[in-house]
Amino acid sequence: MKKLTYLIAVIIITSCTQRNIETPSSFDFLEMFQKVQWVDLTHSFDENTVYWPTNVSFTHDTVSYGLTDKGYFYSSFKYSAEEHGGTHFDAPIHFSANKNTIEKVPLSKLKGPGVVVNVSEKALKDPDYLISVEDFETWEARHGQIPDGAIVLVYTGYGQYYHDSEKYLGTNLTGPEAVPELHFPGLSAEAAKWLTEKRNIHGIGLDTPSIDYGQSKDFIVHQILCDNNLTIYENITNLEKLPEKGSYIIALPMKIKGGSGAPLRIVAMIYK
């Protein structure tokens, strides 16, 4: 319990520091914790969960539901899905041989101060928009250099279309014939190189189906980020609820041994 309290205190102090809020030298951890706002950045998994058009979708079936012969209620379900779908986590091995699988990604890399870069004004006008170095430099001009260990989240505005395939993916088609028709924003190769070479971040995510834009043929952004042992979060939500600076992100994937990806529960902590 003491370790948990200490961790919470560290996170709160980090959040305060990021938002330029003065933190007293002595304070009540519990009182501070009660002032923390949590924001869930995760879509629920169900029959409508978004998967890559060629991937097997999520299924959730009933094993048991109701009163047993002994008179007590019992429910149990089974599910199946591919690793990459819905709000999910890409481990570096996804696009880079011999890099970390899910269970080998250090816990220290699954958290960090949140950096929210809002490109929605541009992206909603252009479904093939490529998030640029300039977009990150514009954020830095307002808030200072992206801090070491940051979790960078890009708000494109596409999360609002999550349950509308034509708007979110660019097509209602499924299977291989859908892939050439995909249209949604993603990170440019130049921006991926800039983040890996010029900054020291822990991970990057966005509210679209892929960190590479829909028309990508070689998934070069995945290659660049994974080669540099960065983790990626796709299909996240509620980014409009976060400040551009001043949140703390915790991204915990299902711990699949040997996994290239996994369902992700990602949350943000904001000190009010």
Specify burial of residue 158 (Cβ count, 10 A radius: 0-12, 13-18, 19+): buried
Q: What is the pLDDT of residue 36?
A: 86
Calculate mean pLDDT across residues 255-270. Answer: 97
Q: Name the strand (E) or helix (H) holding 18.
A: helix 2-18
Q: What is the pLDDT of residue 35?
A: 77
In order of their start, the domains of the chain are 37-55+83-271 (3.50.30.50)
**Average pLDDT value over all residues in the chain:** 92
Q: Are strands 59-67 and 73-80 parallel, antiparallel or unpaired?
A: antiparallel
Predicted confidence (pLDDT) per residue in 156-185, tens digit: 999 999 999 999 999 999 999 999 999 999
Q: Are strands 245-253 and 111-118 parallel, antiparallel or unpaired?
A: antiparallel
Spatial distance between the Cα atoms of 228 and 189, rounded to a whole number of angstroms: 13
Q: What is the pLDDT of residue 25?
A: 47
DSSP class of residue 172?
S
Predicted confidence (pLDDT) per residue in 58-79, tens digit: 999 999 999 999 999 999 999 9
Nearest to 188 by CA among 170, 175, 206, 200: 206
Is the distance from CB of 220 to CB of 189 less than 8 angstroms? yes
Q: What is the pLDDT of residue 34?
A: 72
Nearest to 212 by CA among 172, 253, 174, 184: 184
Confidence of residue 9 (pLDDT cuts 50, 70, 90): low
Q: In the predicted model, is pLDDT for residue 2 greater than 50?
A: no
